[in-house]
Structure 1
Amino acid sequence: MGVQINAETAEPQVEIFADRPAVTHTIAARLLAVLKEAVDTQGIAHVSLTGGGAGIATLEAMAELVRKGAEAPDWASVHFWWGDERLLPAGDEDRNETQARAALLDFLVAEQGLPAENICAMPTSEEAAHPEAGAQIYARQLETHAPEHGIAGPHGKLMMPRFDVMLLGVGPDGHVNSLFPGKDSLNVTGQATTGESDAPAALGPPLRVTLTFDAVHTARRVWTGVTGADKAEAAAAALTPGADVAQYPAANARGSEETIWHLDKPAAANLS
């Protein structure tokens, strides 16, 4: 398919931890610190969340740290977004939004001053009849928080906020967000969102909305949380120089300033 790694992005750093809790607690602590710094210096922070076991466990770890009194940002100035979502009814337990609300966001709204409108969820199936419609809806939502003249993407200007951090999981097949091996979505450029109508059956509901690689590459920091032996092959392949993005999309999961892979020992087992 000719998908190329964006050479202008930050080379991946690899950090290996003992187990999933070590991975998720490290990311959670780092995220709190980065969001606080962003709010203190910029007056606002934007973060893109991910689902999956490690992604939701990271949000649970954040809630735990905040409850224990960890230094945190002014939540009124933090906006939460998503890298992808299943096009399902509101409140469906398979939606990343539903899981994130239970893990962290409802607590922040109820007890920490996060405005409900700062939770920028992707559309539900009630709001969008098909993935491309959902992608268009989310693109318009991103645009309302874009700088006046947008931000520079690798294939032209994108009307979206610049994420201070984008959190990503990596699937056993090497996908990130809903950018799956061999799919046309890998080649979408010049726009922040796209739809996916045929996600692999083994990974749940097929209808998805996702951010594109162009959107991923505008994030200042891209952090993956990769845990479990079932991710070892994909992690090793994606981190191999010259990796085939069409086969292992995670190879192209890179931020504009920083890219960090956080792996537990089982996920790192195949790294050289």
Structure 2
Amino acid sequence: MPEVIVYGDAESLADATAARLLVRIGDVLAHRERADVVLTGGTVGISTLAAAAASPLARAIDWTSVHVWWGDERFVPAGDAERNEGQAQEALLAGLPLPEQNIHRMGASDAYASAEDAAGAYAAEIDAAGAPAWDVLMLGLGPDGHVASLFPGHQVYVESGPADASALAVHDSPKPPPTRVSLSLAAINRAREVWVVAAGEPKAEVVARCLRHDLELPGAAVSGLERTLWLIDAAAATRI
């Protein structure tokens, strides 16, 4: 069963999630040689990364042993302001002693001929890393209940299954831009811990539906092998 933790507002949610993320990474590295973390974009996701960058806890982590991945990416050119990896680079990664080879970016449209090619390359990169069971996989939640680039009713979600590749091309996304690359549901649910982070009253209804396990919504279908956390603010909790 998912655990639900409610914070007063979006700012305190981002601050608390940042602290939780840094402590989790530190705990993993105390027991294993490497930590694998999947980041998310979105307003709260990027605010969380900025809060992590400002935290003194960040200085206690051996970042050379941390590998960073993404749950999804917009298939647009490198440097485009819509790319999650660029926002994460500005908010957190550029300020860390994190080796470039530890940052696993999804392919851009000026480097790959198609989203299928970019997804295939990312799946191969995941496989080359030993298909890690992500130590933390963070997800935002859309007001329609989507996570990563898995959307309600979309073929990529409806037809998802355990045999899916780790990364998939997404076309005709209901949220622009229409072409994306996303981790598959199977890859997401390979994580040791999945954290869904959501803020704001417009998310309240889908948060409640996901927690009632309404599988029409991709957010309801994600779960960690060891722990599933829903980190939400008070406004997003009003329908629970």
Tell me the TM-score normalized by structure 1.
0.84
Structure 1 residue aligned with 2:75: 87
Structure 1 unaligned blocks of 5 or more: 1-10, 147-159
Q: Flag the 1:71–1:114 CA change in 2: closer, same or farther, 3 A.
A: closer
Counterpart secondary structure, 1:218: coil
Structure 2 residue aligned with 1:6: none
Instruction: Give the alignment of 1:82-231 within 5 angstroms.
Output: 82-108=70-96, 113-146=97-130, 160-186=131-157, 187-189=159-161, 190=163, 191-200=165-174, 203-231=175-203
Q: Flag the 1:69–1:164 CA change in 2: closer, same or farther, 3 A.
A: closer
Q: Alpha-carbon deviation of 1:72?
A: 3.0
1:56 to 33, 41, 46: 46
Structure 2 residue aligned with 1:21: 11
Aligned residue pair count: 237
Q: Is residue 210 of structure 2 the alignment partner of residue 238 of structure 1? A: yes
Paired residues of 1:33 and 1:71 also in contact (CA < 8 A): no
Q: Aligned-pair RMSD on alpha carbons?
A: 1.2
Q: Take 1:129 and 1:236, find their aligned partners in 2: how far apart are those partners?
A: 40
2:217 to 228, 231, 248: 248
Q: Flag the 1:270–1:69 CA change in 2: closer, same or farther, 3 A.
A: closer
Q: Alpha-carbon deviation of 1:230?
A: 1.2
Counterpart secondary structure, 2:207: helix
Amino acid at match of 1:194: L
Deviations 1:203-252 (A, max 9, x none): 220100000110111100001110011111111111114x1x2x311001
Q: Take 1:70 and 1:178, find their aligned partners in 2: how far apart are those partners?
A: 29
Paired residues of 1:188 and 1:194 also in contact (CA < 8 A): no
Q: Take 2:133 and 2:54, find their aligned partners in 1: how far apart are those partners?
A: 27
Identity of aligned residues (%): 42
Tell me the TM-score normalized by structure 2.
0.95
Counterpart secondary structure, 1:210: strand
Paired residues of 1:33 and 1:72 also in contact (CA < 8 A): no
Counterpart secondary structure, 1:79: strand
Instruction: Give the alignment of 1:26-45 within 5 angstroms.
Output: 26-45=16-35
Amino acid at match of 1:249: P
Deviations 1:67-108 (A, max 9, x none): x35563200000000000000111110000010000000111
Amino acid at match of 1:95: R
Runs of 4+ in 1 over 2 A off after TM superposition: 68-72
Q: Flag the 1:69–1:167 CA change in 2: closer, same or farther, 3 A.
A: closer
